[in-house]
Structure 1
């Protein structure tokens, strides 16, 4: 399997890491029928995967028009909220962020591939409230992120990526508890197949008509064992695993996987552990 994104090659700590990309590279595609995955979640877990606040419809409609332009096709609402109608046509999760009550807040979102959070955790919350669990984020990055939102110009597409390790191949992971409860049952020789590198590829764009911003999240997963077929990326991952800052490791819960990952790395020629031993 080809590894699509490897952000651990760039950084092991928290970084904003936003980079401008061409508009043509905005949506990556790669899923024939996203609605086939998203619609059952919308039907069965609507409160977990969908939310909107009053007054967000104009922004939602602008997002729909933006997705239609990117895909080159019209999208019928068929009774659906505009943001969800757009989201079910692309693999990405879509998050509408608008300035309300003096802060940038989540006004609507479609969330089919959450990494241990739900709609209720973020809907109508400010950037600071959302990122408060990330150790040091509000002190180190919040003002800078708010400046990015304020200064975001129409036509500019920004991208960032982050990574973690999980013992699940499922994109839909709103709750970490049942997944992490299975870790003790994983034998070291199973780590290559049972552990997965989970990458979030995120983009940010201005909505020029309504003034809000569209934040997208695309999750890519590959088995840890795929790194064995890509020695440069294996080395980069091993280095990131060893050098990740304590706050990053704690937030991502990487210590839960230390023994399994360290044994995998040693088995494939990367002999240093997290402590350099």
Structure 2
């Protein structure tokens, strides 16, 4: 696991930080096109959507990815944003300002966390974040200002995390995953439960004015923390101190007993019993 976002906060936060342009795309997958093309062919509506009039900005994204990774052949007939997405492990989401609102106008979504491309295409920032408890009151205006003021030379990064009983990147629905929680034996929780970390970036498209939002998902079983006491302790603290709002949104209560069993077995039980 490359990232440890649970060490940064126990509550929702915007958490955007500037990073160097050279750090934009992390890589870490030998050939993302193999995984993505299979989903594109079999489940198109789940993983791809575009709004009319977005192709010019899509082309700019393709050029930016090419500039970062070097030239590569572009398969004929593919939407430009999807052609760019085939070169990186990240999901690529294009936001453009339409009718005074920042809206999602194209996205390649191979590792969506409980949503699909066809569900969210065309949605505004407010609509996209509606499931997040208190987002509108606490963060919406600030996020809109960030999008409005983002400069082409300023690249921003944020991260978040959750625990899930699935090692799949492509998780369009929560129902079949959460339905299996009861089948997990507490003694195997460290293997059955996975840390799911999203590393996200925001970058302005200088020519067309849109914003590219990238999402790179990293997965690792809880057992991967056993050999690193510092990481294990950081996770244990974050789990126990998560705010009620964060716990409710991420449905942590579904995993409390299993995580408690893992932490006790790993030597991080603590006085709370978790």
TM-score by length of 2: 0.98
Aligned to 1:148: 146
Distance 2:40 2:201 in 1: 23
1:12 aligns with 2:10: yes
1:127 aligns with 2:125: yes
Distance 2:172 2:26 in 1: 23
| Shift, 1:41, TM fit | 0.1
Distance 1:232 1:201 in 2: 21
| Shift, 1:276, TM fit | 6.5
Distance 2:228 2:11 in 1: 22
Distance 1:232 1:184 in 2: 30
1:39 aligns with 2:37: yes
Figure out how many residues of one structure are paired with residues of the other and give that number: 274
Deviation sequence 1:135-179 (CA, Å, 0-9, x none): 001100000000000000012110000000000000000011001
Q: Which runs of 5+ in 1 are unaligned?
A: none
1:22 aligns with 2:24: no
Out of 245, 248, 266, which is 2:246 matched to? Answer: 248
Classify the secondary structure of the residue corresponding to 2:268. coil
Mapped contact 2:6–2:235 kept (Cα < 8 A): yes
| Shift, 1:52, TM fit | 0.3
Q: How does 1:1-277 map to 2 (within 5 A)?
A: 3-272=1-270
Mapped contact 1:242–1:276 kept (Cα < 8 A): no
| Shift, 1:78, TM fit | 1.1
Mapped contact 1:75–1:85 kept (Cα < 8 A): no
Mapped contact 2:111–2:217 kept (Cα < 8 A): yes
Distance 1:74 1:194 in 2: 39
Mapped contact 2:48–2:118 kept (Cα < 8 A): no
Distance 1:17 1:91 in 2: 22
Deviates more, 1:95-104 or 1:73-82: 73-82
TM-score by length of 1: 0.97
* Structure 1 outlier segments of 4+, above 3 Å: none
| Shift, 1:76, TM fit | 1.2
Deviates more, 1:156-165 or 1:263-272: 263-272
Mapped contact 2:157–2:201 kept (Cα < 8 A): yes
Distance 1:215 1:276 in 2: 39
Mapped contact 2:199–2:216 kept (Cα < 8 A): yes
Mapped contact 1:87–1:94 kept (Cα < 8 A): yes
Mapped contact 2:260–2:273 kept (Cα < 8 A): no
Q: Which runs of 5+ in 2 are unaligned?
A: none
